[in-house]
Structure 1
């Protein structure tokens, strides 16, 4: 559609790209398209953003956009992007279909728009000044709160070492600088007796510090940690105005109320739980007392006590949100908090706000120094303890154990608390002997499947990877392994080397090298070479015999390609690894992207008996070139499973194929509508059961997906 829009904010991405938050502002509301209401917000991805550098917040423009509803992938656990879109009032995603036509925009008198323009000006200056510096992304995040340039590898390092809370704008930094600004203002205020008679110097200093915190928070993007800190400082000022003693819990709950009143959807942000959880833990441990003067040894002791309290208090949130607990976090924070608070952040703010090149350069160099000890800690094999998903009763027991560890000594034995927290190591659920579970992950237009038996795991394909950030292995497969308590699969089978199947394979082989790597690619292929470097056994799926795991049989079914056959038979799709998984009760056929010619080759070579299966993962995502009638009659599936992207450009699954399935009374399940699917094949149950992400994780922010239910 073509219409008028207003830029709200920009965030930076790799290779000169940006993500814009824009608002629909049509001149003629009566003639505007019905698909997008006025004031609706869109997330616009701009590849060559340098062409539109002069576009600043509040600037209006006219453009033709290709708009999609905010429909993303949905897994059975983990991050829900739909919740993020809903909380940020994003009505859809968009791409430019052409250029931008600028519309003369009168100067705005809104302080919030001025602040957003200042943020963009500072961000552009930092990008230009630190061009090519390895810490450019981190400095940008520290000054204006834009984390878009931080690499996935750096994010992993920050999470492993437990300093992710320091990467963007930290409440600790805002509090520190508010206190320093307030102290300076208070000292200056005391020099005027007339001013002190009107407003006490301590109150004036607190108010000035609060003003500084507000400005800092706005420049930083007004995230949840910034909101929490500003509102807590405001609550302290309210306490000073009221006079008398004020409970720390009063301050906490007033800040909590103001945060939710300002942004009621902040509660959906992971930062909300971590930020308020850490502060609540500290208040609980200290009982809300504030000591202004402490001997040196008490200061050190209380710093250690605070770190212990926060670490214990966040064990459960970190386990639920990140599936790990950093063991090096106390050391990393002991080194990084003072370094970033007193060296890196002051220099970054001085350089960013006042555009001093020397200061911003020193800030970046100081972060390079920090990277040295973070790198050493990150390389330790025991740096982070993986924690898989646990049921509610385990999490409740662990929460009770954390409470025991935070209670004053002598009330309950700390050993009891440790024993309760150790329940996080409760084994993850596994299929029984002779049973297997199959999870079809939602990776959009692509394939990624996990097969679990009692003691083994097979991964079939690794989904697409458009770039380092949008990599199915990083976003879906590796988190799935962590959530289910696996370090690596026993077998990683790659059906064929197509981007939507093999895109995540290199990262998968690097981060979770399998015991055995099976594929249809040639022996000299880079993936086979990488697997050998990782000490994995390498096999060709077309020259393998079957094997049995825990009473479940796995049979690779070779496609015997004749060298004199048509070239289409030798294409990558038609060389896909075909795998049959079976027990005495159930059978599943995985087919990759085989097409009609390979289907006939399988029938001719192996006959219908070997192919017959109760569940068929539809060949080639339901393409019209596959799932031929003779093939379906040979397989005789009761259920067909399709992994396809919603509204994908290929039109998968094709209507002819869906009609063919329906005419043969085959039940069809598609990840485009159902999200991820977990099928339970139990030896003693005649019918498999299924858990659908679209049902188990359905919330009111998914209601826009109703239009996606058509085949």
Structure 2
């Protein structure tokens, strides 16, 4: 088993390498190592050989992946493609999004070039009705897979690569499109779209059934893996720790495998009874070996459910684990659960080399390993042993799973053990079977399927009746010192020690390091920490001191399913150890600055809210929270850090007229809330989207002194209407950050603006190229003399793409 573990580690390690070595030289080195090991009979090198073999497979898989991705020279180009829609279509009022399997692909700029066709993720704006299985000829603009890079947040690019997408893009609506007739023969595209067509039929039937909105959302998630309608309840599911129960996960695949095995076992007994009856009546029947029927039915049921769920990566991993167990059964081998786990790990490494980049991979394997360890030994003389272990297993999961949950999610649910004791058996034995039974009878009778789904709906509502008894404002736990490696290591040590047998009375000492860290080790001493998050064409800046945090702008709401506020800002702050935001400043009303606040307010509320005069959030969102209107002269202090609002200079009588009056300085870019931050001799300026007019007024107002600005967030993302020569010359910023989208249509920053900053020797930073950018000034250095004072002004600068360089980015 050790060799399989080393093989798996070798494969998975390649995913984190900064660059990918050539396969030829890697193969040569591996053959040399293997030859030396065999020739000299060095048994101690077998582990190293296994590790190297895994690395070689990871390198080979990496080169295969890169060869199937869209070449850099074609990124942003237009293509003529023909093929099938092979997924459910995610449609809203703006666009439709779907997976597309091209049969042919041709670059319009160079018709002789035909890149290797691979799966595409396409968006179609103002599209007509789309359905899985349709064939289309489309003109699309494609880009290589790419995503935002921020510490502690979801990595969209790695997800795209794991899903097998060669490119993303959108349909050019201005170009003629044509729907093609479906082929009468079973082509690869037809076969690939069959599961999606079945899922679409189930989706339509559930949506047309008379069910509660919540029940319908859960049924869609448990039957076909469609989680989109759960968005309204997702926060509650995460708070209660039952997300894994109400979406298709490894637990459900294993459960369906057990149902399938039970069916196969019953079928085998029925065959035996029929054979016995035939023999009793004098009919001779052949002897049949049916020991294989139960495990084969189990794996077939699991495979069918995985296809129904879209064959997502988590279901693939669960199916591999089921296949390992079934293979052992068919070979008449009694293997330990841990051995099954290791074999599943090795097979997943070979089939999904990038799986280790997924949080779900670590969470699922950690949970299974904890349960295997917790229930060992598998036999006990104590008749109450299974019940005791079952109840206490939830607590063991909470303790050990706290490490990966804080690492990947930034928070964990302390209510999970209590809720799962009730929810796991209820959902597993009532909700899931009834949902799948309805899917099975759907081809026979729509009415019967709807009647069964009504039972599923009832089970969901009954579960929610219990959940409503729990406090609605409790459940989440955020590490008060952030997700530092020291804290995570101490938490892992504590969890492992607590899982030791009772006779080890000293096991409680393992909790001591974690307790000391949480009690005495506050967040690292920081004088001032400024992070400009990578949010594309928009802005979100997090400012941190030792004890408090401020958010300047919240980015955009890109779609109903993804917002910068809940998708980037909140996970980043959780990972930093913040359970609330002390102050949020929304500079002005543009969607790329204010759109993410609504979703952020739901998951990470702000104690204090300051907005530009043109921002007008609905009362339902604010929930009675007092809103301060941004105007010049407002200031406050957090320890040594002074915050000053320099613009807009809004008169009191103008404010009473409300934000909808026509003055350009009460709405629009020039109404942006300009915030200056001072710590000792450090100056940071956040000017929002102000343009030349507001820049000149700010310079004339006298608010800006002659001291050089240490860090400037470029006004209006580097637009040519901002960063005038006078503004740049007076500020002379040491560092300037452009928060802009990668290859965005606006083309920010404008070359003339970059030239102006270069002329005053400013160091240029760009989130589109470097990801999130963090400037940190430490407060531990005492200013005893001028030399130390100059050292203190030098920030520690980190970039997310610099820290997380990967060969696949």
Q: Distance in 2 between matches of 1:515 and 1:148?
A: 30
State the SS of the aligned residue for 1:482: helix
Q: 1:555 to 1:232 in 2, by over 3 A?
A: closer
Does residue 458 of structure 1 match 2:535?
no
Q: 1:186 to 1:326 in 2, by over 3 A?
A: farther
1:646 shift after superposition: 1.6
1:617 shift after superposition: 1.2
1:317 shift after superposition: 1.4
| Matching residue of 1:177 | 259
Does residue 677 of structure 1 match 2:773?
yes
* Aligned ranges 1:228-307 → 2 under 5 Å: 228-243=317-332, 245-287=334-376, 289=378, 297-307=384-394
Which of 167, 170, 180 is residue 102 of structure 1 equivalent to?
180
Alpha-carbon displacement from aligned partner over 1:435-461 (angstroms, at most 9, x marks no partner): 211111111111111111222222111
Q: 1:395 to 1:426 in 2, by over 3 A?
A: farther
* Aligned ranges 1:543-562 → 2 under 5 Å: 543-560=632-649
| Structure 2: unaligned runs, 5 residues or longer | 1-77, 277-283, 443-448, 655-660, 780-788
1:475 shift after superposition: 1.0
Which of 689, 695, 700 is residue 604 of structure 1 equivalent to?
700
Q: Distance in 1 between matches of 2:521 and 2:574?
A: 11
Contact 1:451 1:457 in 2 (8 A): yes
Which of 624, 647, 663 is residue 720 of structure 2 equivalent to?
624
State the SS of the aligned residue for 1:547: strand
Contact 1:181 1:212 in 2 (8 A): no
1:319 shift after superposition: 1.7
Alpha-carbon displacement from aligned partner over 1:249-289 (angstroms, at most 9, x marks no partner): 22222222233333333333222222222222222223363
Q: Distance in 2 between matches of 1:223 and 1:196?
A: 42
1:154 shift after superposition: 1.8
Q: CA RMSD in A?
A: 3.2
State the SS of the aligned residue for 2:606: coil
Alpha-carbon displacement from aligned partner over 1:181-233 (angstroms, at most 9, x marks no partner): 2332232233236889431x444322222222222222223334433443333
State the SS of the aligned residue for 1:665: coil
Contact 1:2 1:62 in 2 (8 A): no
State the SS of the aligned residue for 1:52: coil
Does residue 78 of structure 1 match 2:153?
yes
| Matching residue of 2:246 | 167
Indicate the larger mover: 410-419 or 662-671.
410-419
1:97 shift after superposition: 1.9
| Matching residue of 2:164 | 89
Alpha-carbon displacement from aligned partner over 1:356-394 (angstroms, at most 9, x marks no partner): 2211232223222222223443x4433222236433233
Contact 2:80 2:107 in 1 (8 A): no
Which of 624, 638, 660 is residue 533 of structure 1 equivalent to?
624
Q: Distance in 2 between matches of 1:24 and 1:103?
A: 15
Alpha-carbon displacement from aligned partner over 1:420-449 (angstroms, at most 9, x marks no partner): 55467467864647x211111111111111
| Matching residue of 1:479 | 571
| Matching residue of 2:297 | 208
Q: Distance in 2 between matches of 1:522 and 1:223?
A: 44
| Matching residue of 2:580 | 488
| Matching residue of 1:542 | 631
TM-score (norm 2): 0.78
1:47 shift after superposition: 5.3
State the SS of the aligned residue for 1:70: coil
Indicate the larger mover: 180-189 or 507-516.
507-516
TM-score (norm 1): 0.88
Contact 2:589 2:667 in 1 (8 A): no
State the SS of the aligned residue for 1:351: helix
| Structure 1: unaligned runs, 5 residues or longer | 703-711
Q: Distance in 1 between matches of 2:315 and 2:601?
A: 39
Contact 2:152 2:408 in 1 (8 A): no
Alpha-carbon displacement from aligned partner over 1:317-364 (angstroms, at most 9, x marks no partner): 112122222222122112212221221111111112321221123222
Which of 88, 92, 97 is residue 11 of structure 1 equivalent to?
88
1:528 shift after superposition: 8.3
Contact 1:430 1:453 in 2 (8 A): no
Which of 427, 430, 437 is residue 340 of structure 1 equivalent to?
427
Q: Distance in 2 between matches of 1:691 and 1:497?
A: 30
Contact 1:228 1:276 in 2 (8 A): no
Q: How many residues align?
A: 690
1:45 shift after superposition: 2.4
State the SS of the aligned residue for 1:314: helix
1:587 shift after superposition: 1.0
Q: 1:38 to 1:427 in 2, by over 3 A?
A: farther
| Matching residue of 1:706 | none
Q: 1:35 to 1:566 in 2, by over 3 A?
A: farther
Does residue 318 of structure 1 match 2:405?
yes
Contact 1:639 1:668 in 2 (8 A): yes
Does residue 138 of structure 1 match 2:231?
no
Q: Distance in 2 between matches of 1:521 and 1:31?
A: 47
State the SS of the aligned residue for 1:83: helix
1:627 shift after superposition: 0.6
| Matching residue of 1:699 | 806
